[in-house]
């Protein structure tokens, strides 16, 4: 193991704050092990944040220099906040003291694409593993890191168990379609994990694929679809089907209801996105409501009901 105590800081040139590649690689390895030991899990986003600081010529052993670099960067405040939390974990590992700068996440509605745009990425993935990963994100609404941590033992029929959630999430079980089960079972089972790769590798492949598909379809909106967009889309659609915020919170694994609210912005459904039915008696109306339909209006003594077509095949219900 490389000794990376603060006193052993390596500089390429006097006054140069950039770590040499060997020292940076050793530091990131030590940081990865530290995150795992302290219960962060192998949080790839924290590691990506530290890489961003390394690439910005930060002196990682000098918190004041790090604060200066972060302040000057044209990053959004939400990104800066994530980098600050990642560096805070690094200071604990290196036994450095510092005062965390304050950045707050910008409040903004997440981008919600059309389902056909999400499906275009899944269909155009180009590899069985990427197709399976994207379909898993769509149906489970898992955090991208949670999906990467799935093991074969976490799959049981049509139920996926998320046993290794990211920080701030609960473990949970999610029902998925027969199509996803078949897609997953077609993958080689040569590793404990369903997706034996790193976040950096699969993200790099995805960005390349996304550019290709956006250009082919002449649709720049596709460039806005990140891995977490699948989760935003799923949560929004599930809420619109059920109007049950507690169910959405449960499926997403959130510990705080405030986090769930950000994923449930209102969108407008097209008329053909609904199943429509009617009832002429109170008893028929009760049965229709029990089936998940919502009352719309009454015309000539006939009560009209509708419900979104989304998630019907996955067996979602309105109970939490």
Q: How many residues does the chain have?
A: 320
Whether residue 109 is contained in a domain is answered as no
Do 119 and 257 lie in one domain? The reply is: yes
Do 126 and 208 lie in one domain? The reply is: yes
Do 60 and 10 lie in one domain? The reply is: yes
Q: Are 117 and 219 in contact (CB under 8 A)?
A: yes
SS3 content of the chain, % helix, strand, coil (to 5): 50, 10, 40
State how many domains the chain has.
Answer: 3
Among the candidates 63, 94, 125, a domain finishes at 94
Do 126 and 158 lie in one domain? The reply is: yes
Nearest partner of 125 among 112, 115, 138, 134, judged by Cα: 134
pLDDT of residue 307: 76
Q: Which residue has the tokens 């029902």?
A: 175
Tell me the three state secondary structure of residue 46. helix
Do 236 and 278 lie in one domain? The reply is: no
Do 201 and 181 lie in one domain? The reply is: yes
Q: Are 213 and 121 in contact (CB under 8 A)?
A: yes
pLDDT of residue 309: 67
Instruction: Taking each helix axis as running N to C, give the angle between helix 63-72 and helix 77-94, from 0 to 180 degrees, rounded to the nearest 10.
Output: 170
Do 278 and 304 lie in one domain? The reply is: yes
Do 154 and 250 lie in one domain? The reply is: yes
Does the global pTM surpass 0.85? Answer: no
Range of the domain at 296: 271-314
Do 121 and 13 lie in one domain? The reply is: no
Do 254 and 122 lie in one domain? The reply is: yes
Q: What is the pLDDT along the chain (320 residues), one digit of tens a residue?
A: 444 444 444 333 334 456 788 888 899 899 989 988 887 765 567 888 999 999 998 899 999 999 999 999 999 888 899 999 999 999 999 999 999 999 987 666 778 899 999 999 999 998 999 999 999 999 999 999 999 999 999 999 999 999 999 888 999 999 999 999 999 999 999 999 999 998 889 999 999 999 999 999 999 999 999 999 999 999 888 887 777 888 889 999 999 888 887 765 555 555 556 778 888 898 888 888 887 777 888 877 888 887 766 544 444 544 44
Do 180 and 205 lie in one domain? The reply is: yes
């Amino acid at each position: 193991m490389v000794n990376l105590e603060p006193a052993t800081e390596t500089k390429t040139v006097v006054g140069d704050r950039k770590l040499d590649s060997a020292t940076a690689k050793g530091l990131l390895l030590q940081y990865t092990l530290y995150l795992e030991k302290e219960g962060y899990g192998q949080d790839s986003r924290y590691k990506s944040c530290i890489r961003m600081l390394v690439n910005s010529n930060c002196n990682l052993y000098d918190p004041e220099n790090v604060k200066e670099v972060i302040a000057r960067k044209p990053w959004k405040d939400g990104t800066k906040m994530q980098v600050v939390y990642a560096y805070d974990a690094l200071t604990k590992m290196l036994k450095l003291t510092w005062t965390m700068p304050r950045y707050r996440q910008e409040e903004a509605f997440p981008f919600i694409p059309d389902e056909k745009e999400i499906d275009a990425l899944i269909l155009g993935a180009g590899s069985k593993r990427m197709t399976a990963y994207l379909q898993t994100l769509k149906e489970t609404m898992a955090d991208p890191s949670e999906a990467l941590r799935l093991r074969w033992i976490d799959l049981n029929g049509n139920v996926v168990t998320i046993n290794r959630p990211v920080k701030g999430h609960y473990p949970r079980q999610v029902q998925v379609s027969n199509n996803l089960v078949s897609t997953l079972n077609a993958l080689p089972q040569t590793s404990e994990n369903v997706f034996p790769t790193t976040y950096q590798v699969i993200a790099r492949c995805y960005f390349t694929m996304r550019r290709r598909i956006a250009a082919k379809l002449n649709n720049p909106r596709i460039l806005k679809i990140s891995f977490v967009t699948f989760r935003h889309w799923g949560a929004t659609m599930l809420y619109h089907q059920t109007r049950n915020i507690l169910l959405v919170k449960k499926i997403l694994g959130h510990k705080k209801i405030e986090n769930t609210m950000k994923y449930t912005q209102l969108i407008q459904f097209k008329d053909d996105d609904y199943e429509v039915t009617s009832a002429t008696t109170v008893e028929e109306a009760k049965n229709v409501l029990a089936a998940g339909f919502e009352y719309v209006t009454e015309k000539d003594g006939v009560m009209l009901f509708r419900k979104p077509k989304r998630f019907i095949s996955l067996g979602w219900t309105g109970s939490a």
